Amino acid sequence: MLPRIAPFNRTGFARTVPELGLLLLAILVLLEGSVLPLGAASTPETNTHGEANRSGAVEGHSNHTKKAFPVLSFNYESVKLPFEISLWVLLAFLMKLGFHLVPRLSGIVPESCLLIVVGLLVGGLIRLAREEVPPVLNSKLFFYCLLPPIILDAGYFLPIRPFMENLGTILMFAVVGTLWNAFFVGGLLFAICLIPQTPVLNIGLLPCLLFGSIISAVDPVAVLAVFEEIHINELLHILVFGESLLNDAVTVVLYHLFEEFALVGSVTVLDGFLGIISFLIVALGGVLFGAIFGFLAAFTSRFTSHIRVIEPLFVFVYSYMAYLAAEMFHLSGIMALIACGAVMRPYVEANISHKSHTTIKYFLKMWSSVSETLIFIFLGVATVEGPHEWNWVFVTATVILCLVSRVIGVVGLTFVINKFRIVKLTTKDQFIIAYGGLRGAIAFSLGFLLDEHHFKMRNIFLTAIITVVFFTVFVQGMTIKPLVELLAVKKKQEAKRSINEEIHTQFLDHLLTGIEDICGHYGHHHWKDKLNRFNKKYVKGFLIVGERSKEPQLIAFYHKMEMKQAIQMVESGGGSKLASAMPSTVSMQNIQPKNQAAPLKPKERALPQLSKGREEEIRKILRTNLQRTRQRLHSYNRHTLVGDPEEEGIKDLILKKQMRIELDRKIKEMANHLTVPARTQDSPTMRRARLASDPQSFTVKPSADGVPVIQVDLASPQSPDSVNLFDETGQPAQNDDQGLMMKTKSSESDKRSEKDDLRDQQKLMRCLSDPGPAAEEDEDEPFLP
Amino acid sequence: MGATQTRPEPQYQDLVEATGFSLEQIKNLHKRFEQLSGNADTISRENLERIPALANNPIKTQIIEAFFDKRNQHGNELGSYEAIGFKEFLMVMSHFRPPTLRTTEEEKEAMREEKVRFLFNMHDTDGDGKITLQEYRRVVEELLSKSGTIGQEAARAIADAAMLEVASTNVPNMGPDDFYEGITFEHFQQILKGLEMESRMHIRFLDASTAHGCCRK
């Protein structure tokens, strides 16, 4: 899920760049090492003497007036915090860059391992510079700043369909599995502590159970980091990943439960019962909070059509508020985030502009990438810092027990689950699920949160936790990839979703619902269908703006696909690369039946009778997406950022231009096929039709049948995003700021077609040069697909 | 099972072997059959049309038609029945059985082909072995039939685009005058390859005797 930065150039350049990069890294690390102690050293002074300094300086200034005015002065304290943060982030990114410049490394060792090693190095350096390392991974920073972006990224792009289909299994693993792990590990550790031979371990049952609950939870950050690189099939990925997300509720409850009771010293049945109720409240409450904020975000996005630029902000802020609100009530913040992202996504995506969508995607990926990198580095640093108390028995027992309990848990649960699943989990699947149960920074932070005074054995716990984390991340993380290859586990299919697959997925859904109805029992499909209908009838109309609320899923998918094709065409440099998506010579006329309706001439059979209907649709689309107001933009500032109103129009126009060029070229080749000379003013319907059918050879149908033609003019020339398509041609409409409008067809000269088109394309390509993040098909899924 | 059995037990055994259902499942389905047919021996299209939940289904007609299609009976006949008996009902239902842990790879392949063939038969209404553009258009129109006028207009474009995609992937080099007649079964299998039909196209058949609470008339 994290974007990969491709190495720049493999051949000659690669020799020098890694060296440069490594040099840069070394310098930066040294800088960090020297600056941080400086900062840390001045910390005690800053807080207490900051005021004194300043006042002293003022006084000093008035006293020592004879001293020369300092031309250059150094004041670190005032920028200390942001400076250090930026330095860490920079380090993180340079590390990431460095790993990818060394071509072999990222294939063998997962990034998370490398980052921890870097953290260790940096921590070591800092420790060399001074005696102790400033605590960087404090729990507050972790839970409020570093964790939410990762979880939001996961939740927003969560593939809903496989998640829902496997929800029962995931919940079993998350809830029952984590409970099992916690009690097994905690209980057996306590038993070990009771053995008289063990040295000096006097840990009560409840602290042991607390430790068990901390260590038993599979960590989403680590799972994401490792699984992202091994590309296993969707089912396994969603099982392990879903489990890591949903077990947060269990962890929260168990943690607080045992923390409370460890102080008291005993627990009764009533407390256990209350614990169960608490779990339900934590889990469901978290989801509820998330859903509420998600709906709020979706509702807000309905009204943002005039201020497109702040749309991404709504997504982020509402989600973060959901997280904080849930944390406020001690509910599961992670589940709130997931619920918020998953709930708001289908509606928000229907409402926001394409650019906002890209922005959200990019920002989420970027933030989650930073967070993940920082988390692993800090983990390394915190390891060096300590405080450590090494106890061989405890640590090794922990590691072994964790592994054993995970295996037993997975096998046992799968045995039960397979009775209810239709597509059973094989042994290979079980192995991967068990092996993929990685622990990570959440466990460490939870351990860190323990109060030193109440828990004297905190250091032992921390050491053990770190050891387990290191073991899982390094050993399991590094070996899972070869194991996946060895066991020939099914990998993820990289194929893009095609329109045929979409049609048949929908068809299958309805078919299975129908068969269930005929069979007579309320199955999984029945409820899904009911929810879909409810969603379509009530919710969509409320949350989605305009016409899109009534748009069926299939059509939405189709439009999205067309849009993607259009963008692809623009970016691939013009009409000459038209065939890139579908390298074939098949065109519409190959599939049209030969006995077409009589009025069309043989050459024109290529155009299906789409005009009226398509035109209506295009009008609708353009209407909902175009801003009718005039766009006069003299200067480029954030407030008048030209957004998407023209975007759709531009794209449409580009498509038309592309088509026309291609068409003209082909026409020149087949000179005798033309019935009408190439016109610049084709109805968008026909162009759209052509796009829809990806034609190679077409003739132009004269605009007959009174089909009104929509002409879309772009914004006035001052707009930064406008393209001066018509300025050389004496278009009458340009003298006033017409902006976007729809006129009926006017006569144009067709002389300017080719030359202008090429130039315009270049301009347009520059405008729309953002290629967007790597094609992630996850986002294409509509609500409850 | 208070009702008198209309078939003796040995005949159930034949069905078990023919369709792959378990005895329990067959008994449950037989109960449902009797419910639908009003205790008669055969059901007709009207019986199925009367199921209330099906009213919301956009492809209701195709589904009902599939039950009466002779091609789904694992034989080589074409055409359709007027009324079907329990055996035919079961045969159609057997297309929706899921694979078990013990299903081998070859069996899974065979299962997938059978299911894809079922889908193909649903689309290929005239039985000529090809899904023509008209038939495919009809499929998409039916899918969007509950979505109002927007659906109808876009259906055509979508069907055309889809057909084009099939043609492009399967017969990439067609001359400008060649004509792609329709999607054959092999092409159809090709486009659905990514969907893993043997794992997706199934419903849960009840094993134990059902409590009447969860069933509907």
B157 — contact with chain A (CB < 8 Å)? yes
Tell me the C-alpha distance between A355 and A361, whole Å: 10
| Range 161-180 of B in CB contact (< 8 A) with A | 161-169, 171-176, 178-180
Instruction: Confirm if A441 and A419 have CB atoms less than 8 A apart.
Output: no
For residues B82 and A24, the model is more confident at B82
Q: Which residues of B touch A533 (CB under 8 A)?
A: 56
Subunit contact B96:A424, Cβ cutoff 8 A = no
Judged by CB atoms closer than 8 Å, whether chains meet at B156 and A426 is answered as no
| Tens digits of residue pLDDT in A394-409 | 888 889 999 999 999 9
pLDDT at res. A351: 85
Alpha-carbon distance of A505 to A520, in angstroms, equals 22
Supply the ipTM of this predicted assembly: 0.89
Residue-level pLDDT at A27: 63
User: Closest-CA residue in chain A for B120?
Assistant: A504
Residue B202's SS3 state is: coil
- Strand B83-84 to strand A711-712: parallel, antiparallel, or no bridges (unpaired)? unpaired
Q: CB of B103 within 8 Å of any CB in chain A?
A: no
Inter-chain touch A614–B164, beta carbons under 8 Å: no
Q: Which candidate, A444, A448, A439, A417, places its Cα nearest to that of A430?
A: A417
CA distance A616 to B151: 12
The Cβ of residue A4 has, within 10 Å, a number of other Cβ atoms equal to 12
Contacting residues of B for A233, CB less than 8 Å apart: none
Q: Which strand (E) or helix (H) includes residue A378?
A: helix A354-385
User: What phi-psi label fits residue A489: left (phi over 0), alpha (psi between -120 and 50 degrees) or beta?
Assistant: beta
Smallest Cα–Cα separation from A302: which of A347, A342, A243? Answer: A347
Quote the pLDDT of residue A323: 93
From A344's Cα to the closest Cα of chain B, the distance in A is 23
List all residues 6 or more positions away from B127 whose beta carbon is below 8 Å from its beta carbon. B71, B78, B79
CATH of domain B9-101+197-206: 1.10.238.10
Task: Give the pLDDT of residue A170.
Answer: 92
Q: Which domains does chain A have, with CATH numbers?
A: 139-487 (1.20.1530.20), 513-558 (no CATH)
**Do residues A421 and A169 make contact, with C-beta atoms less than 8 angstroms apart?**
yes
State how far the Cα of A214 lies from the Cα of A255, in Å rounded to an integer: 7
Nearest alpha carbon to residue A344 among A308, A304, A302, A306: A302
| CB atoms A512 and B201 under 8 Å | yes
A626 three-class SS: coil
Cβ-defined contact of A616 to B173 (cutoff 8 Å): no
Under an 8 A CB cutoff, do A594 and B179 touch? yes
| Chain B interface, best mutation among A511, A592, A780, by max B CB count within 10 A | A511
From B10's Cα to the closest Cα of chain A, the distance in A is: 23
Q: Please report, as a single letter, which amino acid is at residue A416.
A: V
Residue written as token pair 């979880």: A151
Select from A521, A552, A591 the Cβ nearest to the Cβ of B214. A521
3-state secondary structure of A708: coil
CA angle A130, A131, A134 (to 5 degrees): 80
* Contact between residue A501 and residue A561 where contact means Cβ atoms under 8 Å apart: no
pLDDT at A33: 55
Can you tell me the distance from the alpha carbon of A544 to that of A144, in angstroms, rounded to the nearest whole number? Answer: 31
- C-beta atoms of A510 and B93 within 8 A: no
Domain ranges of chain B: 9-101+197-206, 132-182
pLDDT tens-digit readout, A287-318: 999 999 999 999 888 888 888 888 888 889 99
Contact B191 A512 (CB under 8 A): no
In this prediction, residue A408 carries a pLDDT of: 93
- CA dist list (Å): B157 to A553, A685, B160: 15, 11, 5
Residues of chain A found within 8 Å of residue B211, distances taken between Cβ atoms: none
Cα–Cα dist B86/A687, whole Å = 53
pLDDT of residue A628: 38
B60/A515 Cα distance (integer angstroms): 10
pLDDT under 50: residue ranges of chain A: 1-15, 39-61, 575-582, 595-610, 626-646, 672-758, 760-785
Closest approach of A593 to chain B, Cα-based (Å): 8
B104 touches chain A (CB under 8 A): no
pLDDT number for residue A28: 59
Task: Count A/B contacts: CB-CB distance under 8 Å.
Answer: 206
Cα Rg of chain A (Å, integer): 31
Q: Position B19: which residue type?
A: T
Nearest CA in chain B to A526: B53
What pLDDT was estimated at residue A495? 64
Q: Does B50 touch chain A (CB under 8 A)?
A: no
In the three-class reduction of DSSP (H, G, I as helix; E, B as strand; rest coil), residue B69 is classed as: strand
Q: How many helices (H) and strands (E) does chain B have?
A: 10, 2
Cα separation, A540 vs A569, whole angstroms: 32
Q: Which chain B positions have a beta carbon within 8 Å of A613's beta carbon? A: 152-154, 156
DSSP state of B125: T
d(C-alpha B191, C-alpha B214), whole Å? 37
Place of tokens 């006129």: A743
